[in-house]
Amino acid sequence: MTIERNTLRFSAAHFATFGGDCEPLHGHNYDVFVELEGGLTDDAWVFDFVTLKRIVAGLCDQLDHRFLLPVDNPHLRVREDEKAYEIAFADRRYVVPKADVAALPIDNSTAERLAEWLCGRLASELRARNASNLESITIAVEEAPGQAGWYTARLDRGE
């Protein structure tokens, strides 16, 4: 089963590091795609569409209108105090109020890592709902039309 776009989106600012460099601060209107694979339940569905959309929309809300901070990025120097994050790369420095930051336990704010983070969070939510029939979750995060990062997680049935 799949769900995509419509309410499954978020707008966020970020920069990614690569090859010893760092992109300028910029933003995207991200779209999220979700695919669940698994056996049918006794009611002949993989998972309830409405519930899945609510869960994923809630995850997107956590990122919406935030600066996406990859706190595990080895190229960034990150300091946190009571009110703000200070982020530095080489001679560039940003100070961002905590309320405007989604501090993520990832090493880079690429579409691929965002898809992986969302996939892990969704897997936790589905386990909490005893969705033991599920075999895999695939998430895509599209940062521009036709430009997306994908991540698939295999799930242990009965988990």
Q: Is residue 34 part of a domain?
A: yes
pLDDT of residue 7: 81
Residues of the chain where predicted confidence (pLDDT) is lower than 50: 158-159
pLDDT of residue 157: 61
Q: Is residue 36 part of a domain?
A: yes
pLDDT of residue 5: 73
Q: Is residue 84 part of a domain?
A: no
Selecting among 65, 86, 135, 159, the annotated active-site residue is: 65
Residue 40: CB partners within 8 Å, gap ≥ 6? Answer: 46, 133
**Secondary structure of residue 108 in the 3-state scheme:** coil
Q: Is residue 81 part of a domain?
A: no
Selecting among 4, 22, 35, 37, the annotated active-site residue is: 22
pLDDT digits (tens, 9 = 90+) for 84-101: 999 999 999 999 999 999
Phi, psi of 86 (to 5 degrees): -110, 125
- 14: annotated active-site residue: no
Q: Is residue 94 part of a domain?
A: no
Residue 48 to residue 86: CA distance in whole angstroms: 41
Number of domains in the chain: 1
Average pLDDT over the chain reads: 96
What's the CATH number where 144 sits?
Answer: 3.30.479.10
Tokens for 54, please give them: 């609510």
**Chain CA centroid to CA 34, Å:** 11
pLDDT of residue 6: 77
- 75: annotated active-site residue: no
pTM, to two decimals: 0.95
Selecting among 14, 116, 142, 143, the annotated active-site residue is: 143
pLDDT of residue 159: 39
Residue 85 to residue 4: CA distance in whole angstroms: 32
Q: Is residue 68 part of a domain?
A: yes
CA atoms within 13 A on the CB side of 28: 21
Q: Is residue 129 part of a domain?
A: yes
- 22: annotated active-site residue: yes
pLDDT of residue 14: 98
Q: Is residue 92 part of a domain?
A: no
Residue numbers of the domain that contains 37: 2-73+103-154
Residue 32 to residue 140: CA distance in whole angstroms: 6
